[in-house]
Amino acid sequence: MWTIRTLLTRMSRATRMQLPLFSVDQANASFDSVSNQGAKDCSPCGSARLSQLRLCVLGSGSGGNSAVVCQGASALVIDLGLGPMTTARRLVAAGMNLQAIQAVCLTHLDQDHFRPTWVATLLRSQIPIYLHRWHIHDLASHAEGKRLQKAGLVHLIDEEPFEPVDGYSVQAIRLPHDRKGTCGYRVVTSGGALGYATDLGHVPKQLINAFTGVDLLAIESNYDEQMQVQSGRPAFLKRRIMGRAGHLSNDQSFIAVREILDRGLASSLQHIVLLHRSNQCNHPSIVRHVFEEDPRLLGRITLAEQREITPWICVDPNGSGHHEQLNLKF
């Protein structure tokens, strides 16, 4: 078992390594200065495959979370934890714009998942948001939330499937996180199935059941337990993060991914996206060390970043996926 000291001393050499565990369609792009001319192709999976489900994580971490799910020209956004201006720039970098958003599903209302600065844009563009009924009192307690309710843009959901965008069947899964919990989502279209879960303290059986058989899995891998314990964070914060209503560690995430693989056809799970990685208590090298223990994951993993969008991650109708190697930069 590697110690943190051993892992971190190896990081300076990692920039020269190709890590076949991690797979993306193209290198992550910087969007500090984004223009339409420099935008990524909206259909990197190939124009002939626009009918297939695809995912782009616009940002993931304590500074803000948002992801866009597409099939054809239809776009569903999960969480609005980045401001409208930042989101617009990152959508342009992905070859899209705000006008493509047809609906938003919120996991919960922490500010890194829903920023009140979005309210004016939602009202102006008449974009509906879907929110589990557990969180409606929190939304209604804010004047901005009341404006969305008054405009008829808030749609309350429960565990029954709903259709926020034509052709998208979505089911919410209640997950443990802090006082009110959060929602994972299973999104099914004619082009594939996505499981999306972040901000959960442990993995309940209903999540494994819901995500078995998906083509694309996005799941939290927040912290390394040893780094968390040895960090200078206050004890109460460590207890919260590592508790059963906190966040998933690398090991917990890995166990969940393996169980989903074990229960379904291994070939059906083409891509795994790891979300919400802590900058203070985690590192790509440590994540790699954990997930490379299962050879079935080689070439399937993408690490979502706080300040960079992922490439479009596309479901392959033939089940092959895209397995190009990625040079991780430390």
pLDDT, tens digit (0-9, with 9 covering 90-100), for 130-143: 999 888 888 888 78
Among residues of the chain, what percentage have pLDDT more than 90?
64
Q: How far apart are CA 68 and CA 58, in angstroms?
A: 7
Residue 264 has what DSSP assignment?
Answer: S
Contacts of 327 (CB under 8 A, 6+ apart): 15, 17, 18, 19, 27
Domain of 308, CATH number, reads 3.60.15.10
**Contact of 180 with 138, CB cutoff 8 Å:** yes
Tell me which of 144 and 69 has the higher pLDDT.
69
Q: How confident is the model at residue 322 (pLDDT cuts 50, 70, 90)?
A: very low
**Contact of 182 with 31, CB cutoff 8 Å:** no
Average pLDDT of the residues in 124-134: 94
pLDDT of residue 145: 87
Q: How confident is the model at residue 267 (pLDDT cuts 50, 70, 90)?
A: low
Residue 41 has pLDDT above 60, yes or no: no
Three-state secondary structure along 192-240? EEEEEECCCCCCCHHHHHHHCCCCEEEEECCECHHHHHHCCCCHHHHHH
Residue 30 has pLDDT above 90, yes or no: no
pLDDT in tens, 76-103: 999 999 999 999 999 999 999 999 999 9
Beta strand 169-175 with 154-157 is: unpaired
What φ, ψ does residue 117 adopt, rounded to 5°? -65, -10
Q: How confident is the model at residue 317 (pLDDT cuts 50, 70, 90)?
A: confident
Which domain range does residue 252 map to? 4-326
For residue 237 the two structure tokens come to 């914060």
Tell me which of 35 and 316 has the higher pLDDT.
316
pLDDT of residue 7: 46
Q: How far apart are CA 66 and CA 138, in angstroms?
A: 20
**Contact of 238 with 229, CB cutoff 8 Å:** yes
What b/e string do you get for 4-33 counting C-beta neighbours within 10 Å, with b at 16 or more? eeebeeeeeebeeeebebbbbbeebbebee
Tell me which of 178 and 28 has the higher pLDDT.
178
**Contact of 284 with 330, CB cutoff 8 Å:** yes
Contacts of 135 (CB under 8 A, 6+ apart): 106, 108, 109, 180
Q: How confident is the model at residue 49 (pLDDT cuts 50, 70, 90)?
A: low
**Contact of 208 with 263, CB cutoff 8 Å:** yes
Average pLDDT, the chain: 82
SS3 97: coil
* 306 burial via Cβ count (<10 Å: 0-12, 13-18, 19+): middle
pLDDT of residue 140: 83
Tell me which of 14 and 154 has the higher pLDDT.
154
Length of the chain: 330
Residue 60: HSE in the Cβ half-sphere, 13 Å Cα cutoff: 25
Tell me which of 242 and 260 has the higher pLDDT.
260
The number of domains in the chain is 1
pLDDT in tens, 199-218: 898 899 999 999 999 999 99
Average pLDDT of the residues in 213-228: 95
pLDDT of residue 194: 98
